[in-house]
Structure 1
Amino acid sequence: MTKTVRRGAALALASSVLAVLPAIPAEADALRAQEWALQAVHAQQAWRTTKGEGVTVAVLDTGVDANHPDLEGQVLPEQDLVGFGAGPGDSAWAQHGTGMASIIAGHGHGRGRENGVLGLAPAAKVLPVRVILEDDDSERERARTEKAGALADGIRWAADHGADVINMSLGDDSESAHPEPREDAAIQYALGKGIPVVASAGNGGQKGNHVSYPAAYPGVIAATAVTHLGGRARFSTRHWYATVSAPGFDIVMADTGDGYLSGWGTSPAAAFVSGAVALIRSAHPGLSPEQIRRLLTSTAQDKPEGGRDDDYGAGLIDPAAALDAAADLKPTPQKPAPAGYATRYFGPGPTADDAEDAPVNWLPWTAGAAGLALLTAAVVLWRGRRASH
């Protein structure tokens, strides 16, 4: 098996467990009451400045259902870089991507849009780029081998077609995970065009804690997950590339059709971080990806001792505080990526000592790098339950 095929075979969705919620009466606001994450990241305060107007977030995922009532009017035409597999109306289509899109830009529905799911940047647009299939798609294995380059192609396509932020709630944290120069080059291309790139850190916290790609590439903002109690979610991967943390447990999101899901994983955490970046880009469009990364880390809540750690990065995102801090910033050019990657690493590593002791499959981080993150971890989609609702 070639290196590329091994890499492709390991890519997996990173939402983790998505459980179908029972039907909720249209007049009830039960869903909105479950969105603890918005309160945790001070969404209401951030919305006094912006709700993401004028920003497009590319969602590199399994596709997005543009007809969901909470996303209607927000979703741009999709670019499908897989070209086969399940389609609209099939049970194995776009569930993961629709959920991530709703966390980023859901706007609710009904008169006044008082029902349904609100995303962190409800006025932002979503640009769906299909780069992977759902775990239960019958063509998934074929896609893993034949479309192993779809992620790199998707990053470049999004960068060239209006994306202001790139979200990747996906990754590879298997034992065979390794950096791909083509993916790294695509990320550097996007960063060079001034586009922040966000990825999930991985769901391997209880499964070996392997480094996850694309989360660990230089320049990526890697999101770890916290629970409603503020602690690290046990599944969340702990590594040096962690940039910030975000809610990733008991997260309500849109399902395909007009349903809803409750899920966990660093996938939703990455989507919340992308929503926060969308708010910053809306209010301050000239800031570079590096400046935005520093805003998120410098204003994060619940900072670990010493300023950061592998569990939380710099702490829980606070887009309201980041927007306040951005008011005094002047845009600066994006710094070029580090040159001359070593054979073993795509960067110099955290320290020389760490580099000597690190496993071969590690991809160390430079100061501003965070990860191209997670399509990892098993996504168990409870389709049987879904069919009964």
Structure 2
Amino acid sequence: MTLTRFLRAISATTLVGGLLLAGVPAASADQVRDAQWPNQYFDLKKVWSVSKGDGVIVAVIDDGVDASHPDLTGSVLPGHDPSGQGLDAHPTLPHGTKMAGIIAAHGHGSNEGALGLAPGVKILPIYKTTAHNSDAVPDDIRWAVDHGAKVINISQGSSTSSSGINDAIAYAAQHDVLVVVAAGNSAAPVESPGREPGVMAVGAVDKTNSIWSKSNFGPEVMIAAPGVDIVGDGACDGGQYCIGDGTSDSTAYVSAAAALVRARFPQLTAGQVANRLTKSALVPTALNGSKLPDPHYGYGILRPYEALTQDIPAGSTQGPLAKTDGGSSASVPSTAATPGGAAPGTAGPGGTTPTLVSTGSSSKGLFIGAAVGLAVLALLVIIVIVVARRRKTSPPAQPGLAPYGAPQQYPNQFQPPYPNQPQQPYGNQAPPQGYPPQQPYQNPYGQGGNDQR
């Protein structure tokens, strides 16, 4: 298993364009909330008049969730850390806490702190790697299912599929659990597990409903949600809040919306919940007349209130989710089961039909095959020699690293990052000029929706 990108870095830290907001003296009590433009975008008052997600458990498979954060107290259940270090409850990184906050933060004090989209939800924190830093996500999915989760949030991804990931997703499907996964942050095809059949892959948009330039794309993308300039909970640079970009954040918003729907319509299956989210999504003007799902937007942009209130038939139990195969995961999964993907023997995205061409059994074919085989063998010998020479001069790699990134250790990692002393919001760098907005963000959705039935 090769070490690959872990998407959380973009959305929860200052890496790749993330910017920490400043600890401004005499900051207003609602400064954090003013900066949470998606909450005004969604119109939380309207959403919460219908559902807050009460009674629904959302598992967050990530780098842990800090239950001591004042915006999350009482909302985090005892979780699971397969590494045995207790990092599910005492994280050394802020990413999982930010995802949990986007989903379920309730603020604190007198209108202070961050608010999540579904504050009635309970968060089940699950750490992403084992004691040997190997991938634990497939087993984490099973653990979440066995411990009552109805929605699983996976705001991470890898270019290589995990061993057993398909079986784990099939297990979730069999137990009626919706798995929501980030598409990726590299402007490339959707990563795993977002590309695996049976999950709901999510892209990211900005305030103008435009796709974020680094949001991954492909036929597996099912929906898009806010993922640019997202403020949320997490210990960034000594403060209590972070700001950043990423499909990690948009995934957490979709997980929260799924929880709202599950609380409002408990009789719906996971597939029918996904159906309600996609059927109520806003189709941007740029996609008018286009065939859906779009490789960047999926079926459109998330609209929680419409998902809760529109008259949408339940539909099939599977909904828009691709059927899981329950088989072992391959490095490159088949597109036959992915939404919008090409089934074997049909036209693919480029309009051509994949075809296997037989070389026959003639002597000419055998001769060419033998020649090619010798050339490949010679190339392999050269590669082995080059790799052996490099290993003599390079430090040994850490064994067993998970495809989602290895944990980082901070000094005194179990020390809660929020001591009982006054804290200024955000971090300690100056915010961009004119940020956060002082006027409520105007909801750009309008009245249109996804009329694809």
Question: So what's the TM-score if we normalise by structure 1?
Answer: 0.78
* d(CA) in 1 for partners of 2:333, 2:125: 31
Mapped pair 1:103 → 2:102: yes
The answer as to whether partners of 1:226 and 1:247 remain within 8 angstroms in 2 is yes
* d(CA) in 2 for partners of 1:227, 1:283: 28
SS in 2 for 1:75: coil
Residue 12 of structure 1, aligned match among 6, 13, 21: 6
* d(CA) in 1 for partners of 2:59, 2:181: 12
Residue 180 of structure 2, aligned match among 184, 193, 198: 198
* d(CA) in 2 for partners of 1:187, 1:157: 12
Residue 116 of structure 2, aligned match among 116, 119, 125: 119
SS in 2 for 1:104: helix
Structure 1 match to 2:248: 267
Per-residue CA deviation, residues 117-166 of structure 1 (Å, 9 max, x unaligned), is 1101011110000114xxxxxxxxx96xx343400110000000011110
* d(CA) in 2 for partners of 1:259, 1:340: 42
State the 1:302 CA deviation. Answer: 2.7
Larger Rg: 2
The answer as to whether partners of 1:120 and 1:275 remain within 8 angstroms in 2 is yes
Matched letter for residue 232 of structure 1: I
Matched letter for residue 337 of structure 1: T
State the 1:36 CA deviation. Answer: 1.0
State the 1:296 CA deviation. Answer: 1.1
State the 1:290 CA deviation. Answer: 1.1
- Shift of the 339–121 alpha-carbon distance from structure 1 to 2, 3 Å rule, reads closer
- Shift of the 23–215 alpha-carbon distance from structure 1 to 2, 3 Å rule, reads same
* d(CA) in 1 for partners of 2:429, 2:215: 31
The answer as to whether partners of 1:287 and 1:330 remain within 8 angstroms in 2 is no
Structure 1 match to 2:125: 128
* d(CA) in 2 for partners of 1:129, 1:339: 23
* d(CA) in 2 for partners of 1:232, 1:102: 23
For 1:22-41, what aligned pairs fall within 5 Å after superposition? 22-23=22-23, 25=26, 27-41=28-42
- Shift of the 332–235 alpha-carbon distance from structure 1 to 2, 3 Å rule, reads closer
The answer as to whether partners of 2:21 and 2:428 remain within 8 angstroms in 1 is no
- Shift of the 31–317 alpha-carbon distance from structure 1 to 2, 3 Å rule, reads same
State the 1:63 CA deviation. Answer: 0.3
The answer as to whether partners of 2:183 and 2:203 remain within 8 angstroms in 1 is yes
Residue 223 of structure 1, aligned match among 202, 208, 211: 202
- Shift of the 87–318 alpha-carbon distance from structure 1 to 2, 3 Å rule, reads closer
- The number of equivalent residue pairs is 341
* d(CA) in 1 for partners of 2:68, 2:404: 24
For 1:248-263, what aligned pairs fall within 5 Å after superposition? 248-256=227-235, 259-263=240-244
Structure 2 residue runs without a partner (length 5+): 14-18, 355-402, 409-425, 431-453
Structure 2 match to 1:293: 274
* d(CA) in 1 for partners of 2:253, 2:93: 19
For 1:136-147, what aligned pairs fall within 5 Å after superposition? 146-147=132-133
State the 1:387 CA deviation. Answer: 7.7
- Shift of the 107–232 alpha-carbon distance from structure 1 to 2, 3 Å rule, reads same
Structure 2 match to 1:45: 46
- Shift of the 237–67 alpha-carbon distance from structure 1 to 2, 3 Å rule, reads same
* d(CA) in 1 for partners of 2:329, 2:248: 30
State the 1:357 CA deviation. Answer: 7.7
Structure 2 match to 1:315: 300
Matched letter for residue 154 of structure 1: D
The answer as to whether partners of 1:284 and 1:326 remain within 8 angstroms in 2 is no
The answer as to whether partners of 1:38 and 1:44 remain within 8 angstroms in 2 is no
Question: So what's the TM-score if we normalise by structure 2?
Answer: 0.68
For 1:76-95, what aligned pairs fall within 5 Å after superposition? 76-84=77-85, 93-95=92-94
The answer as to whether partners of 1:14 and 1:202 remain within 8 angstroms in 2 is no
- Shift of the 386–22 alpha-carbon distance from structure 1 to 2, 3 Å rule, reads closer
The answer as to whether partners of 1:15 and 1:266 remain within 8 angstroms in 2 is no
State the 1:22 CA deviation. Answer: 2.0
* d(CA) in 2 for partners of 1:326, 1:127: 31
Q: CA RMSD in A?
A: 3.3
For 1:150-161, what aligned pairs fall within 5 Å after superposition? 150-161=136-147
State the 1:110 CA deviation. Answer: 0.5
For 1:331-346, what aligned pairs fall within 5 Å after superposition? 332=317, 337-338=324-325, 345-346=333-334
SS in 1 for 2:113: strand
SS in 2 for 1:40: helix
SS in 1 for 2:305: helix
State the 1:86 CA deviation. Answer: 7.0
Mapped pair 1:324 → 2:309: yes
* d(CA) in 2 for partners of 1:86, 1:342: 27
